[in-house]
Every structure is written in C-alpha cells, then in structure tokens.
Structure 1
C-alpha cells in the first residue's frame, strides 16, 4: 500500500512523505491530487483522488484494501456503472423519503438524463454538467431551477463517492451557478386577492382553503400540504409549523375569519379523515400544487402580457403578498422575518422598501410644527 502526490507542475509522482516535488521543487499547499496504489494477492489497484488531504487519501486507501480483502472491490467497479443506472438503482431509492424527491426525480428525468445519456460516472466532466445548464437556459428555465438541478447532480456524486461507486473530484462542484436575481417581486392587491379567492372557491373548496391559508399566514405550499389537525390550536388561534424549509419550527397566527374557516372544515371532515392531514387527496398529502390554481389564474388573466417569471402569479405569490401587506401597514422588518420563517434578515429586506419611511415622517412632523 502506498500513497503518492501528483505534482501539478510536472506531473511527477512522489512519496506523500516529501514536502516538495524532487524533480521541479514545486510545493503543493492545497487542492492536492493523490495517486493511491494498493496490492492484495496479486491484484493491484491504482486510484487517483483529487480535492482531499493526506488523511482523506489514507482513509480511501484503507477502504480499497478492505474491499479487496472482502472481494467487493472488483465486483463493484468492473461494471463501470452508468450515471442513469446509478441514479435509478441506488440514488432515487435512497432519496424516496426526502421531501424534495418529486422535484429531484423530475429534474433528473427531464433535463439531466437526456444530456448525460448513458455515460458512466467516471466519464462525466464539468463540461457535461455545463451542457445541462446551457440547455435549461436555452429553454428559459428559472435560474433557481437551474441551480437546483446542479445541486441534485452534486448530491448524486457525493453519494456515489460516499458509497464507493466513484472516486475523484465531484464534477458538479466546479460548475458555477447562474447569476440572476430570481426573487419574486409581484404581490396581489386586495381586489386581485378577493377575485382570486372567489374564483377558486367556485372550482375547488380545498384549493380555495389552501390559498386562503397561505395568503393570511404566509405559509409555503409544502408547509400547508404537511399540516395536520394536531398542529392547529383553535383555542389560542395559532398554527405550529413543524419541519419547515429552514428546519426551524415556527408559529403562525390565525385571523378570526381563518379560524372560522378551518374550524368549519374540521367539523365537516375530521370524522371521516383518518389520515390526520388537513388537506389531502384520498388520505394522502399533496405532493404538488393542484392544477386548479393555475387554471383559475389563467382564467382571471392575472399573468396576461407578463414575460418576467418574477412578476407572474403563482401559488408562492400568496406568501409574498402576505409579507408585502405586512410591510405596507408598517410592520417592523424583524417581525416580518419571524412570521415568514426566514433564516436571515437579508431574506426579508426585499420588503423594506414597502415599509412607510418613519425617518422622513419624523423630520416632516418636526419641521411641520415650527
């Protein structure tokens, strides 16, 4: 067993015990590439590993030796597993329990598999992932969606490395995220909100109730979909939001009208709802936003003539509207942050321009009295 450093200057291999390349004198301080050599009963494995330190290389060396001894090494690596095969047989079964499973599976199937095709894991380069990114940009996918697709590929390779199906640097780690402000700017006026809720009520009571809940609490769709009756305290008018996007549970406060709406639903549906979910389809929670919402938005023409995705009305617009209305009525920015469940204040500051200017008002009052 031996570990060598590969000199990035002259490509010479030398012992990891040496501090500099004996051929050109180059000193590698970081981002080292190691060549690992392991022999066992006549079988020899040479593996190149990048982006790690000596301790990490030693751990990989020990892992290879262990798998050679157990006979697992060649069974696993001679197959040179294809990316798509690895994802379908190994990664997706693992990701099945994740909240993001449906979105990850969709991105892989629609955008990543067609570009990566049947390439094996060790034949995929950052250029291949750049091609996925380029294709998504060409089809005008939102920067956040493209960023998510890159993150999914990075996660797939991380698991391939962790499970011993791939050695080397993660190719997705070298792909830059698309740069664009993808934050939603559009929020509904009171009149638009009333029209939307009224029309939703005609099409689907359940979608109407979900939209009403988001509009008056700022809850995300995923939080609404996973809401159970145990999370609702009718007596105190609060909703406990467990396991939200930023992993920190929070409380939402019900208006009297929202409490009445949910209590009527509880009395109407609880006896025949064994699942415990407030909103469900045949006892199972919603995995995606019902198409009824998009149909009603289209019918009302709320997105007519709008090309910028940030200005289009989607279900998330209801949450954005909740925060915008709070800001307009002068709610302190920190209070908005807590109600929205934002992890940092920077995420909430986009609403600050809607808050009445208290400093200007103070000066005007001062000089107005002289």
Structure 2
C-alpha cells in the first residue's frame, strides 16, 4: 500500500547490507525550502516502517538523530565537568569503556538486548556492574533531555546477582607474615605489614599524610571509604613503629610515596608492586586480605566488640567518645600490641 503524500517512504538498498532498508522523508528547512533526508537504516522492512511511523508522530532533526552513544556521554560530561571532582571524572572515564562496542552507534538505534548483552558479559563484581549500569542510565537520561530517545533503556537492564563473583578472603598465615618481616625494607612489603597491623585499606594507607601521624601517642588519623570510617583514630602497634619512623621525612607529604616523591596510585601499585611481591613470596592474596587478616587477629585478642568496630571503622565515633579519645587510646594501643 502506497503511503500518503508527505508521509515518507521505505525502500530496500541493493547489495549485501546489514541494514538494507532505508527510511526517507521530505522535510521543510528554514526559509521554506524542502530537502529529502534519510531518517535511518534498518534490518527489516517492518522495523523501518515502525521508525517512519514514530518519526511522523514525533519528528526530530535527522542530523541530531545520528548522535552516537559516546557523543551523548561527552556532552553530558562537558556540562557537568565543573561540578565533578577529578576523582569522579576518572572513575567515569574508566566505567564508560565497558560500552565501547556501542560508542559509534546512534543512541536511538541501540536496543535493550544490546545493553543487556554488554552487562551480561561483565565479570567484575556486582557493585562495579551496578556503577556501570548507573552511568549508562545517566547517559540515557541526558539523551532524553536532548529528545534523542523516549525511554531510558538502562533502567530496564537486569543485573543478575547470582552471577556475582564471590571473592574468597583468606588471612595471611604466621609463616607468610614472617616472610614479609624478612622482606621489610622493601617499601611494598612494609606497606603490606602496616595494613596487616592497622587494618587500613590500601586507599587509606596511600592517602595517609605524615602530618596525621602522632608518634608520641602512637596513632594516626585516617579512613576515607565510608562515613563510619572517615577520620577515625587508628592505633599503631609497637611492632610497626620502626617502619613508620623509617618512612617519615620532613620533605615528604605522604608516609609512602613513589620514588619520584609522588602519591602512590592504586592500580599501578597493585599490578607492579603488590602482585610482584606475592609472586616472589610464592603466595596468592588480594590486597584486602591484609585488612581481613587484621580483623581475624584482633578478634582473638582481649578487645571488646565495640573497640574492634571502632578500630576497624565499622562504627562511627560519637561526639562524646571523641572528647574522651585519650582514654580510649590506651585500650586501643594495648589491643594492637597483642597482635
């Protein structure tokens, strides 16, 4: 059946093409001139007819229609660039790489099944996948504001929690810790020992500034992951004080730095230092095993559950507790000295 005048047309292109059906429409330009433009290309005639019908219901600029997924992402980042921290921008740049297969695809042409396939093929943790889905949702939300799409397909993507990779946590054995002490003097070995005897996360340790270390009272102020763990008092065991003293210098900002005096970056340290150290020792551990080891060791001491939570950072200090921190420190120091 022939379409009404001015409705547009669908026709099949010659040759072998993945999307052989073209949708064309004559539109009016500014000044009264008319121009026949291609709305898009589709795999089947049915899909092309549906696209033409959708265009007639909700006309759009054919040139804008070609805006790709990555172009939308770039526009979104450019608009929010000034209000995002450098760290947040870096995370987004890392997460968006997951969607590289659709970077050059017009966002209007991306189907839910494509987004679902991308997420299903991810092997990272459920938390990271959630972040990737969230970023995709932000891109689609921005595309809706640009009137490029009518639906946020990212909201419909299913994250199968059953596929979540369970990371096996295992503690460093006494023999393995002894190996680390024999390697003390090598910065990465000293960093692992400090994490094992303080319970600090790697990000907390690399963020630790010398000015936040109280050598006389044997504690430092650190923590950056959660509200309950931020700026907590971390007691320093006598066993690692020689290490702490060794790395303190008036010309440094952070306790542990690169050879060039720069802040240590997690990914670089993990791949080039930590994994190499574990290989040299002939063991297999994740960085978080250090914190897990600390939690296991401290649970075997005389410490109360409340003290353990405060030291590890699973429960925030109340104002009154911070006022009486010095009385708590005595208990905390005794606990870590038992490790």
CA contact (8 A) 2:172 2:289 kept: yes
The match for 1:365 is none
The match for 1:132 is 118
The match for 1:20 is none
> Do structure 1's residue 228 and structure 2's residue 209 form an aligned pair?
yes
Mind listing any 5+ residue stretches in structure 2 that lack a counterpart? 1-59, 317-339
The match for 2:17 is none
1:64-100 C-alpha deviation (Å, 9 max, x unpaired): xxxxxxxxxx99x936532223334642883973435
Match of 1:118 among 80, 86, 104: 104
* Cα RMSD for the two superposed structures: 3.4
The match for 1:323 is 295
Counting only pairs closer than 5 Å after superposition, residues 162-181 of structure 1 correspond to structure 2 as 168-179=150-161, 180=164
CA distance in 2, matches of 1:198, 1:177: 45
Match of 2:72 among 86, 90, 93: 86
The match for 1:192 is 176
Shift of 1:211: 1.4
Give TM-score, length-normalised by structure 2.
0.61
Evaluate the alpha carbon distance shift between residue 119 and residue 98 of structure 1 in structure 2; reply closer, same or farther with a 3 A threshold: same
Match of 1:245 among 225, 241, 257: 225
CA contact (8 A) 1:229 1:278 kept: yes
Mind listing any 5+ residue stretches in structure 1 that lack a counterpart? 1-73, 304-312, 345-370
CA distance in 1, matches of 2:65, 2:153: 20
Match of 2:264 among 278, 286, 296: 286
CA distance in 2, matches of 1:147, 1:211: 30
CA distance in 2, matches of 1:219, 1:171: 39
Match of 2:94 among 106, 109, 133: 106
Give TM-score, length-normalised by structure 1.
0.56
> Do structure 1's residue 147 and structure 2's residue 130 form an aligned pair?
yes
Evaluate the alpha carbon distance shift between residue 167 and residue 334 of structure 1 in structure 2; reply closer, same or farther with a 3 A threshold: farther
CA contact (8 A) 1:143 1:182 kept: no
CA distance in 2, matches of 1:165, 1:286: 43
CA distance in 2, matches of 1:169, 1:340: 44
CA distance in 2, matches of 1:143, 1:336: 28
* Structure ID, larger Rg: 2
1:30-60 C-alpha deviation (Å, 9 max, x unpaired): xxxxxxxxxxxxxxxxxxxxxxxxxxxxxxx
CA contact (8 A) 1:147 1:178 kept: no
1:116-168 C-alpha deviation (Å, 9 max, x unpaired): 2312344444433311122224xxx444443343233334445x269757665
Shift of 1:171: 2.8
Counting only pairs closer than 5 Å after superposition, residues 179-218 of structure 1 correspond to structure 2 as 179=161, 180=164, 182=166, 184-199=168-183, 201=184, 205-218=186-199
> Do structure 1's residue 295 and structure 2's residue 276 form an aligned pair?
yes
Shift of 1:323: 0.8
